[in-house]
Amino acid sequence: MGKADFLSPKAISNRIKAKGLQKLRWYCQMCQKQCRDENGFKCHCMSESHQRQLLLASENPNQFMSYFSEEFKSDFLELLRRRFGTKRVHNNIVYNEYISDREHVHMNATQWETLTDFTKWLGREGFCKVDETPKGWYVQYIDRDPETIRRQEELEKKKKQDLDDEERSARFIEEQVRRGREGKDPEEEPVFTELKRENEEEKVTFNLAPSTSRGPSKARYASLTPSGLKVAPSTKRKDHSHSVNSKDKKKKSALDEIMEMEAQKKSLRSDNWIRPDIVVKVITKRLGEKYHKKKAVIREVQDKYTAMVKMIDSDDKLKLDQSHLETVIPAPGKRVVIVNGQYRDAEAILEGINEKNFSATLIIDSGHMKGKRVEGIAYEDFSKQA
């Protein structure tokens, strides 16, 4: 029987079936041939081309298995890194996306028999963090790229600095509250008792006298008696209420003042820090090794986040985004410019560096605060003056 015509329904059906994924047990990795059924796979194994491939593999089987295992491992990890990053994900989800490519290396040609064995191997070799749950095995890629590690360290440093600021604010508020409570007697809590009637048959009535004055009514106190509720003015209670309200108002004003101070402090920080006449470092790799980690001077700032810089080594001029630059920390005794925070735009002299806290001590050398010594200025909040 001759071969079906290219546009015949049978030929079109065969091509559609060939595009999809077939069963793994009918795939020959040595010949890279996928069979659609058991009979086809049997015929392929008896073919001359398959026998020649087996003879080649029998000469050095470990070399072929190592090659296929390395291909499978590198492609799997590349997909995990590019698609999921450092997120924790189920290994079956990654594997299903991996085998969706018809040109992938099949697991039955590698040194691992199952996906679980491969997942455990990734954990032992330190490529991923793996953990077993009732739902199966989960993997988390470990990114050892120096640039990624540096960004993570910067984020952790900034997060730690924010937490330190919040802790200092909380301690300051607690200290103010403690000082306000010192020397004051604790307020007696009111005791509430159950309302009882001496005579069950007697009715309880409330006689509230209407106010005859149109002005503000006076404070009153009430007492419950079997004959009714008597209401009478009490100047003593009025004074006590006024005293308590004035104290609460005073305390509230102090807390409001502290909160306003903290809000004002945070509002002084800005999301853009670049400014002209400061030395910066280019941290992006997109421009090549010629400019990576090289220093430049900002000549002009456009749209708050774009800087026109001039390279110090080559005198080349570049237009870079703020995210592609970082501040430069000079040696102690050199002049710097504070680019963010409470003392923004102030010129200062670098007195010392605290490497443990990623901060520095500066002496302001301009403005009305000239000569003031400030500590704890983060590395990213000041840069060398051009």
Per-residue confidence in pLDDT tens, the chain, 386 aa: 556 677 788 777 777 666 655 666 677 766 767 777 777 878 878 888 777 777 776 777 677 778 888 888 988 988 888 888 888 999 899 988 887 776 777 777 788 888 899 999 999 888 889 999 988 999 998 887 777 777 777 888 787 777 777 777 788 888 878 877 775 555 566 666 666 666 666 665 655 555 444 444 444 444 444 444 444 444 444 444 444 444 444 445 666 766 666 656 555 778 889 999 999 999 988 888 888 889 999 999 988 889 999 999 888 888 898 989 999 999 999 999 999 888 888 999 999 998 888 899 999 988 888 888 999 888 889 999 98
Domain chopping of the chain, boundaries: 22-141, 279-384
CB 29 within 8 A of CB 109: yes
What are the tokens at 110? 């590698």
How far, rounded to the nearest angstrom, does the alpha carbon of residue 314 sit from its chain's CA centroid?
A: 37
In CATH, the architecture of 279-384 is Roll (2.30)
The CATH code belonging to domain 22-141 is 1.10.10.2030
CB 282 within 8 A of CB 296: yes
Contacts of 294 (CB under 8 A, 6+ apart): 281, 282, 311, 312, 313
| Among the listed residues 100, 92, 142, 99, the one whose alpha carbon sits nearest the alpha carbon of residue 118 | 92
What are the tokens at 130? 């793996």
Q: Beta 359-364 vs 317-321: how paired, if at all?
A: unpaired
Q: Which helix or strand (DSSP H or E) is residue 352 part of?
A: strand 347-354
